[in-house]
Structure 1
């Protein structure tokens, strides 16, 4: 879901912190542009948002070279920041609340007389000013939760989990409240642990939930977080917010002790952030975002399934995009509907107009190696090393064979060839006798004694 926004006061604080980061970077002057890394990403960065249609690419192969270059940038990236919106969860069976179909229509059928103009109105804090609208809010949230617990992660969720497994995911910032990433083993930012340091907690987070978590309930007064139960689910379905058991227990204990009651107990509602409401973890998220920018060194930014309507999210995109561009990376938006270009020139390089799952499928078709698991990747590398060693041994054996074919065929102990143009004289005969054991030919005396005629003439 992408309707919930950070509160105005907390948003201002985040904006001030972001401005502090950006101002220190801008103090370097115009030389920051010239100091950007020269990479494939930097060479195809754009000054104006360029729109690429995935359907046209499939049908006409248009912009094929450009898309191939974008895919290579994704493949070579080391640290990827991701921002997701409601568009990545629609294929999981969670209806889009913005449209007049789905959940909004269901609630209007149940409460036809209540003045609710759109699904977005059901995420506004002003609902708690009227008793009747609280019932609408409770029914709507129970319906949404019922869809969420039946949903399964999509290909896009699996793609984000794969980035994590490959060690390429810096952080995923999500506007969604369904928590489907947790089903794939990703660590979610549900609540902050006071016993752990900030750096350890932030380092272990994979997904930062900007707008809260629908899979838990929180008290409107003491802010204690609870898991859903069947009883509380029935209460919300009937349009009622259940009483917080912790507040109720505390008041009962004070009453038994004869102390003054603290007032009404808090009510349980989904642990999400509504329009006009303070974000309880705004300081934590702001500090973590600054750490990702200063130390995370992102070189790729993927924005998936969101039209970027929320002010706080807009500032987040602009801040991360600047860091990615300075490192020679790309900022890519994958979304069905086109965004307003004038606000995003120089911030977003390319918008790929496509369903997010379809884009992931197309990416996998052209970059199958990128989607190998870490174990599979290690196995491929091992096979390549073994093949390389085998080729090296074959080259060495071939070289030895070629050297042996060029060497003399005579035995290694055979003497060098002698020039025998004339018969040896008598002085050389004893020397020839010494080499008899080395030469297979008979000596001159033996040669002479072989002919009877010659022997008789000599005598």
Structure 2
């Protein structure tokens, strides 16, 4: 008896051809070095590569998104580091201020100088006013579409404008102690890594407040308003005869400045660990950022590892190039394009990906109903016998009828008119035999039209001997015995006429 256990070497050599073809046909789009692609004037090789990347995007199921200020530029909100960004605007508007770089306006050390506080308050009020009238861009709507399709795992944004909230996306806010951390994190769509410009927070008690006209007027004048909660607490202590601490906080935009910790850093850190451990993303979009912040760099590396472990792709969409050597093996492709232009390109290349969830569910329902209907029809065919003759029988009847017409036109004998009907050793069904008999009866003349004297008697051998003046010239014994019985009867009738 031959041994059925194969060694590992022999098993590797005998891999089925179907499996090997399946692995070979799947394109390996993961790169060891960052590759730059353009959608405006791509080469033929880049066109084919872009199609393969877009095809894998359409098949993705769990997508992570990291966004920067570049996705809000088309909404009228300036970015930070470009030639027309916030840093340059600060230096142009306040040339006399002792500001070496615009980044100092977003550093925690600015609260040490009154002049910088004044510039910070004025600039933040202008930025809030522009963000208040801005409308979400096509890139924001693309993120909301991923949420609608159930493909968005999480969107991490460095932006402070909060335009995603206008599209119904759930934004990260203060930690809700009445809800478990996992449930609150599961319901979040957008995590604001650098805070929210649409809220004001106290520098002392960290209580958050909404903007109003009075607060906006105070910031526009270059002053930070006092915290109402701290003032009420101080007043209550004075009324109770307690010592007044004199510490009343100031309200500033609820954003994270350089050099300070995020007020919800513990909550965000726990959520990040959940997404890394259990998220299982298969695609990672980095949009509109040059990746200069250290914390964001670390986040990209951690998420990139998880995506690559699931054979996914990491794609950066930004107009300016990033340092290639720092991102080899981490980012697969950088598409040198404006984010909104890339969304338009993607919509043109894979329109099925941009169908709404309602359209997808309707198409699935129609497909499901058609499948059930076809299955039911197959079962009915098996249970009910066919009421009409099959196609083969129908074609056979047509051929027989055509032969009848041909024989009526000029054939003299049944053998000449229907040679195929009376072949030797033919096996036919009962219906075919009856049909042949009907054809032969139609070809023969009715007995009522014949002369009774010319018919042979039905009495047997004696009747045959009384008719010696018959018109049959051939000897009856010369009739071919191989002919069928129906043919023999027809031939005798013809010859006795």
TM class by smaller structure? 0.7 to 0.9
Q: Is the 8 A contact 1:448 1:454 kept in 2?
A: no
Q: Deviations over 1:266-292 (max 9, x none)?
A: 110000100000111112111111111
- 1:257: Cα distance to partner? 1.1
Hey, what does 2:130 align to over in structure 1?
147
- 1:222: Cα distance to partner? 0.5
Q: Is the 8 A contact 2:91 2:101 kept in 1?
A: no
The equivalent position to 1:318 in structure 2, one of 260, 280, 301, is 301
Hey, what does 1:51 align to over in structure 2?
36
Hey, what does 2:453 align to over in structure 1?
453
The TM-score, its normalising length taken from structure 1, stands at: 0.79
State which structure, 1 or 2, has the greater radius of gyration over its C-alpha atoms: 2
Q: Which has the higher contact order (CA 8 A, sep 6+)?
A: 1
Which consecutive unaligned segments of at least 5 residues does structure 1 have? Answer: 1-36, 421-437
1:137 and 2:120 matched: yes
The DSSP-based 3-state class of the residue aligned with 1:241 is coil
Q: Deviations over 1:29-53 (max 9, x none)?
A: xxxxxxxx97988711110001112
The 1:117–1:344 alpha-carbon spacing in structure 2 relative to 1, beyond 3 Å, is same
- 1:313: Cα distance to partner? 0.4
Q: Is the 8 A contact 2:69 2:80 kept in 1?
A: no
Aligned length: 400
- 1:404: Cα distance to partner? 6.0
- 1:105: Cα distance to partner? 5.5
Q: Deviations over 1:196-224 (max 9, x none)?
A: 00000000000010000001000100101
Q: Is the 8 A contact 2:90 2:102 kept in 1?
A: no
Q: State the alpha-carbon separation in 2 of the partners of residues 40 and 238 from structure 1.
A: 65
1:248 and 2:237 matched: no
Q: Deviations over 1:98-143 (max 9, x none)?
A: 3453655654465432112333221100100011111111011101
| Bigger mean CA offset, 283-292 vs 172-181 | 283-292
The 1:300–1:39 alpha-carbon spacing in structure 2 relative to 1, beyond 3 Å, is farther
The equivalent position to 1:260 in structure 2, one of 240, 243, 250, is 243
The equivalent position to 1:81 in structure 2, one of 52, 64, 67, is 64
Q: State the alpha-carbon separation in 2 of the partners of residues 227 and 290 from structure 1.
A: 31
The 1:285–1:135 alpha-carbon spacing in structure 2 relative to 1, beyond 3 Å, is same
Q: Deviations over 1:405-454 (max 9, x none)?
A: 357689x996944999xxxxxxxxxxxxxxxxx99979xxx959974315
Hey, what does 1:342 align to over in structure 2?
325
The DSSP-based 3-state class of the residue aligned with 2:258 is coil
Q: Is the 8 A contact 2:284 2:315 kept in 1?
A: yes
Hey, what does 1:182 align to over in structure 2?
165
Q: How does 1:59-208 map to 2 (within 5 A)?
A: 60-99=43-82, 101=84, 103-104=86-87, 107-108=90-91, 111-208=94-191
Hey, what does 1:427 align to over in structure 2?
none
The DSSP-based 3-state class of the residue aligned with 2:80 is coil
The 1:65–1:111 alpha-carbon spacing in structure 2 relative to 1, beyond 3 Å, is closer
- 1:380: Cα distance to partner? 3.1
Q: What RMSD, in angstroms, separates the aligned Cα atoms of the two structures? A: 3.4
The 1:56–1:62 alpha-carbon spacing in structure 2 relative to 1, beyond 3 Å, is farther
Q: How does 1:343-362 map to 2 (within 5 A)?
A: 343-362=326-345
Hey, what does 1:283 align to over in structure 2?
266
The TM-score, its normalising length taken from structure 2, stands at: 0.73
Q: Is the 8 A contact 1:179 1:213 kept in 2?
A: yes
The 1:258–1:82 alpha-carbon spacing in structure 2 relative to 1, beyond 3 Å, is same
Q: Deviations over 1:351-381 (max 9, x none)?
A: 1111010000000001111001011122333
The equivalent position to 2:394 in structure 1, one of 377, 388, 405, is 405
The DSSP-based 3-state class of the residue aligned with 1:56 is coil
Hey, what does 1:424 align to over in structure 2?
none
- 1:403: Cα distance to partner? 5.7
Q: Is the 8 A contact 1:79 1:168 kept in 2?
A: yes
Hey, what does 2:291 align to over in structure 1?
308
- 1:385: Cα distance to partner? 5.2
The DSSP-based 3-state class of the residue aligned with 1:66 is helix
